Amino acid sequence: MLFPVLIFLIFFENRPHAYNRKILVLLTALTMILCIAKPIQLETGFIFDLRYVPFIIAALYGGYRNVLPLYLILNVYRFYIGGAGMVHSFIFSTVVLIVVPLLSKKFMNMIPRSRIIWATVSALLTMGCYLIVLSMIIKTLDRQFWMLVFYALTTHAVVMAVIMILLEQIITNFRNRDRILQSERLNVVSELAASVSHEMRNPLTVTSGFLQLLNQSKTLTPEEKGYIELSLQELNRAEKIISDYLSFAKPQSENMVYSNLQAECEYTKNVIMPYATIHRVAVEFSFNNTLCTRYDSNQIQQCLINLYKNGIEAMKGMEDGVLSIDISERKQNIIIMIRDTGIGMTKDEISRLGKPYYSTKEEGTGLGMLMAYSAINKVKGVIEVKSEKGKGTTFLITIPT
Ligand code: ADP
Ligand code: MG
């Protein structure tokens, strides 16, 4: 049982995702075959094995797509061995194949502890059903049979629980490492940005001022005026990029407040309304939060505006786009939910969010999300992203108080 976990951790954890999936399925298949080849033999003569433990884990985490190859391998190997109970095993595995992956979606949305419990329950139920079927076949329910029931059920529950605890711990470790990487990246970028953008601001302001003066000259031809307008526009753009940069590069201190986000929400709502109207997006807004925390008012405003803007931009050119913003509290956490019904993102695109300069827009700077992550990071909050291509995106921000 530990074999695929270990091999995967040691050799494959840094490979790209698509490749990982195949390796995992292969290793799980190998474990299953080992389980069948070396079953557990009780003194009473009964044998049983743990083949359904990896099978259920793959079904719950991976859904139909990943468990189907396992199902095929399991049955091909079982037919190859032959012997009694072949047909039963085939029917039983088919039932498990159909039922367990149904729970996969729900399972993936649970918190780790519930996942451990549910996987263990699934293993118990599966084995329970198997034993009920078996009892119908062998008919004589003597003491030996009940011994088998006892051993099979306890072994399945314990093994499943142990494996699940390990898996969930590994997943948590991965997550934490990603988070550390992300905040490391933010530190480097913002330090660099702070120095560069600060130095750039003055020359830009000076140039822009002189160009404006020049623009008032009476001797300019219309063509020359056009050039100056263009230069001013581009300077403005540069200025905008720099202010995006500076806002997250600035050390937190200037605008620190202790509040419940109400003022920021009102302000950002007013700022974003005209933009939403231009793009014919409806905005739904609700505010139900009494919890207060310390934060930099400007940065939180900027962060919210960036997220709203992205939501609206994701619904560009769509009929009846809706941006819902909901700020509430749950268990000493402030919860900010921003949902759009726009173009959505693939898993791959989600994983790129917040990397500097990642943008899919022609005019995009790829700094909006970076700034948002940085601002939320500074208040020790987390941003969760749920998105489906073509359906929309939900940003869920949790800020502890
Ligand atoms: P920019 O908006 O300048 O492109 P951001 O950092 O704000 O930069 O966003 C980076 C990229 O993330 C966007 O170009 C877009 O592809 C993607 N993105 C962000 N928010 C959303 C969203 N709500 N829906 C779909 N895609 C999004
Ligand atoms: Mg943006």
User: Beta strand 321-330 with 281-288: parallel, antiparallel or unpaired?
Assistant: parallel
**Half-sphere exposure of residue 266, counting CA atoms within 13 Å on the CB side?**
3
Q: What are 17-55's pLDDT values in tens digits?
A: 667 788 888 899 999 988 888 888 888 778 888 989 999
CATH number assigned to the domain comprising residue 42:
1.10.1760.20
195 CA distance to ligand 2 centroid (A)?
23
**If you take atom 21 of ligand 1, which residue's CA is the nearest one?**
310
Q: How does the average pLDDT of the chain come out, rounded? A: 87
- How does residue 198 score in pLDDT terms, banded at 50, 70 and 90? confident
Q: Which atom of ligand 1 is nearest to the CA of 354?
A: 6
Mention every residue, 6+ apart, whose C-beta is less than 8 A from residue 301. Answer: 264, 267, 268
Ligand nearest to the CA of 373: 1
Residue 125 reports pLDDT greater than 90: yes
Whether 361 lines ligand 1, by a CB cut-off of 6 Å, is: yes
Instruction: Give the number of the ligand closest to the Cα of residue 341.
Output: 1
Q: Give the number of the atom of ligand 1 that is nearest the alpha carbon of residue 307.
A: 20
Determine the 3-state secondary structure of 117 from DSSP.
helix
Structure tokens belonging to residue 365? 């700077």
For residue 270, the Cα-to-chain-centroid distance in whole angstroms is 30
Please tell me the predicted confidence (pLDDT) of residue 123.
Answer: 93
Angle at 163 between CA 157 and CA 165, to 5 degrees: 100
pTM (two decimals): 0.63
Residue-level pLDDT at 38: 87
- Work out the burial of residue 169: count CB atoms within 10 Å of its CB; fewer than 13 is exposed, 13-18 middle, 19 or more buried: exposed
One domain, residues 24 and 159 = yes
Could you give the 3-state DSSP secondary structure of residue 218?
coil
State the Cα–Cα distance between residues 95 and 174, nearest whole angstrom. 33
Q: Are residues 241 and 192 in the same domain?
A: yes
Query: Given this model, what pLDDT does residue 77 score?
Result: 87
Nearest to 310 by CA among 367, 383, 351, 249: 367
Tell me which of 237, 283, 310 to substitute to probe ligand 1's pocket, judged by most ligand atoms within 8 Å of the beta carbon. 310
Distance 257 CA to ligand 2 centre (A): 25
- Assess contact for 122 and 60: CB atoms under 8 A: yes
Please name the residue that has the structure tokens 């050039």: 227
CA 267 to centroid of ligand 1, rounded, Å: 22
Buried b (16+ CB within 10 A) or exposed e, 63-102: beebbbbbbebbbeebeeeeeeeeeebeebbeebbeebbe
Distance CA 334, CA 381 (A): 9
Considering the domain architecture, whether residues 123 and 207 belong to the same structural domain is answered as: no
Please give the pLDDT value at position 253: 61
Q: Which residue has the tokens 């003569």?
A: 45
22 and 129 together in one domain: yes
Q: What are the tokens at 119?
A: 């996987």
| Placement of tokens 């003194």 in the chain | 43
Q: Which of 165, 181, 197 is the last residue of a domain?
A: 181
User: Token digits for 216?
Assistant: 């008032």
Structure tokens, 98? 């159909």
Predicted pLDDT at 245: 65
State which H helix or E strand residue 328 sits in.
strand 321-330
Mutation choice for ligand 1 from 323, 362, 369, 373, CB with most ligand atoms inside 8 A: 369
Residue 153 near residue 124, CB atoms below 8 Å: yes
Mean pLDDT, residues 68-77: 90
Give the residue carrying structure tokens 């069948």: 36
CATH code: domain of residue 347: 3.30.565.10
Q: What is the pLDDT of residue 250?
A: 62
Residue indicated by tokens 């940065």? 299
Nearest residue (CA) to ligand 1, atom 8: 366
Q: State in Å: Cα 87 to ligand 1 middle.
A: 53
How would DSSP label each residue in 328-359?
A: EEETTEEEEEEEE-SS---HHHHHHTTSTT--
Q: 246 and 328: one domain?
A: no
Residue 241 sits in the same domain as residue 268: no
Residue 366, ligand 1, Cβ within 6 A: yes
pLDDT tens figures, 322-344: 999 999 999 999 999 999 999 99
User: How many whole angstroms from 310 Cα to the centroid of ligand 2?
Assistant: 5
> Ligand 1 atom 23: the closest Cα is on which residue?
311
**pLDDT given at position 247:** 65
Torsion sign (Cα): 97, 30, 65, 347: positive
Give the other-Cβ count within 10 Å of 175's Cβ. Answer: 11
Please check the confidence at residue 252 and state whether its pLDDT lies above 60.
no
Same domain for 81 and 169: yes
The single-letter DSSP state of residue 317 is T
| Whether residue 266 sits in one domain with residue 229 | no
Q: Do 288 and 372 belong together in one domain? A: yes
| CA 245 / ligand 2 centre spacing (Å) | 13
Ligand 1 atom closest to the CA of 366, numbered from 1 = 8
Q: Which residue among 208, 227, 253 closes a domain?
A: 253
Percent of the chain exceeding pLDDT 90 equals: 38
188/249 Cα distance (integer angstroms): 10
Q: Are 248 and 259 within one domain?
A: no
**Residues 315 and 352 placed together within one structural domain of the fold:** yes
Cβ(356) – ligand 1 distance below 6 Å: no
- Do residues 101 and 108 make contact, with C-beta atoms less than 8 angstroms apart? no
Q: How many domains does the chain have?
A: 3
pLDDT of 161 reads 95
Of residues 133 and 244, the one with the higher pLDDT is 133
> Do residues 124 and 156 make contact, with C-beta atoms less than 8 angstroms apart?
yes
How far, in Å, is the centroid of ligand 2 from the Cα of 384?
17
End-of-domain residue from the set 181, 209, 224 = 181
What's the CA-to-centroid distance between 339 and ligand 2, angstroms?
15
Question: Which is nearest to 58 in space by CA: 48, 70, 73?
Answer: 70
CA distance 309 to 369: 10
The residues facing 372 across adjacent strands are: none
Instruction: Indicate whether residue 359 lines ligand 1 (CB < 6 A).
Output: yes
Q: What is the mean pLDDT of residues 124-151?
A: 86
Q: Are residue 273 and residue 386 in the same domain, yes or no?
A: yes
Rounded mean pLDDT, 275-282: 90
Domain span holding position 303: 254-400
Q: Residue 104: CB within 6 Å of ligand 1? A: no
Q: Is-contact 4 24, C-beta < 8 A?
A: yes
